[in-house]
Amino acid sequence: MEYRPLGQTGALVSALGFGAAPLGDVYGPLDQATATKTVHLALDHGINYFDVAPYYGLGLAEERLGVALRGIRNQVFLATKCGRLGVNEFDFSAAGIQTSLEASLRRLQTDTVDLLQIHDVEFGDPNQIVEETMPALQRFKKEGKIRFTGLTGLPLGYLKDLARRTHPDTLLSYAHYNLMVDDLVEVLGSFSQEKGIALINASPLHLGILTDQGPQTWHAAPAVIQEKGRELGALCRRRGRPISEVALRFALDLNDVATTLVGMGRPNEVEANLQVLEAASDFELLEELAALVAPVKNRIWTQGKPENNY
């Protein structure tokens, strides 16, 4: 396993990170035994960065991860989030953030988390996040409940502007560096390096579009994007490579990020992702895929407040 510095935090994290959303039944039902086996397998093979949120399964993912980490909590870098509680439920107030963190700590069965991230900031008011939410996180830091602070969101321009005003330790965006969209480093790369902020890439499979199974029904991408994903998958199958393997290897080749988060819920998913670490990119195939995706390249959906989507 390759380990990379997490910005200026002093932490070293695995280049392949464990996205724990599937533990909350986001991609289909699981049980605790399977979740625990999956977490332990990942940890045994060097994955030490685990990312979760109250939103994933409305607390279920945190609960299952907490059970799986009993007795081995000190072996992982544990990141969770706050501010988003449901599909349309948000609370970025200081009181709400405190309540959320206390509930997360109970579910995760720990006294502290390594990283607390303000979740999907595009749904919030930027002034509230600057003047109320982030100061609450800084207070938690002084109290020893968290070690580092972060922001997560989809729109890169807004995320960058908010980071200028809040000075987080990490920035996480998703679906912005993969076979279909690759503007993450263009927008945030030099900024994050200059500020010493760790950059985290999530959803290298475009939230399921870049898989043979395809995305869940809740996926927000327009039909033309989802159809193009099916075309990319068909091309990879003709070349004898699963699209998920090609897409993950492509994302892991990016050295400008501290870690790339991939959702894992079952042992076979961990095993498949670990195998990709030993694989090499097929650059001829990547050129073919780039030509195929060109008509929709860097097209992304929007979410949150319209004025925050830039």
The residues carrying an active-site annotation are 56
CA distance 19 to 273: 12
**pTM attached to this predicted model:** 0.95
Closest listed residue to residue 215, CA positions, set 173, 244, 257: 244
Residues with Cβ within 8 Å of residue 190, at least 6 apart in sequence: none
Helix 243-252 / helix 283-293 crossing angle, nearest 10 deg: 100
Q: Residue 56: name the closest of 30, 22, 88, 31 by CA.
A: 22
Pick from 263, 287, 295: which is nearest to 23 by CA?
263
Residue written as tokens 């953030």?
97
pLDDT of residue 220: 86
| Helix orientation angle between 184-195 and 156-166, rounded to the nearest 10 degrees | 10
Which helix (H) or strand (E) element contains residue 230?
helix 223-238
Contacts of 9 (CB under 8 A, 6+ apart): 147, 148, 169, 170, 198
Helix, strand, or coil (residue 123) = helix
How confident is the prediction along the chain (310 residues), in pLDDT tens digits per residue? 999 999 999 999 999 999 999 999 988 899 999 999 999 999 999 999 999 999 999 999 999 999 999 999 999 999 999 999 999 999 999 999 999 999 999 999 999 999 999 999 999 999 999 999 999 999 999 999 999 999 999 999 999 999 999 999 999 999 999 999 999 999 999 999 999 999 999 999 999 999 998 888 888 888 999 999 999 999 999 999 999 999 999 999 999 999 999 999 999 999 999 999 999 999 999 999 999 999 999 999 999 999 999 9
pLDDT at 99: 98
In this prediction, residue 215 carries a pLDDT of: 85
pLDDT of 214: 86
Domains belonging to the chain, first-starting first, are 3-308 (3.20.20.100)
- 164 CB burial (10 A radius; 0-12, 13-18, 19+): exposed
Q: Which residue has the tokens 């760790």?
A: 198
Quick check: 244 and 211 in contact, CB under 8 A?
Answer: yes
pLDDT at 213 (0 to 100):
87
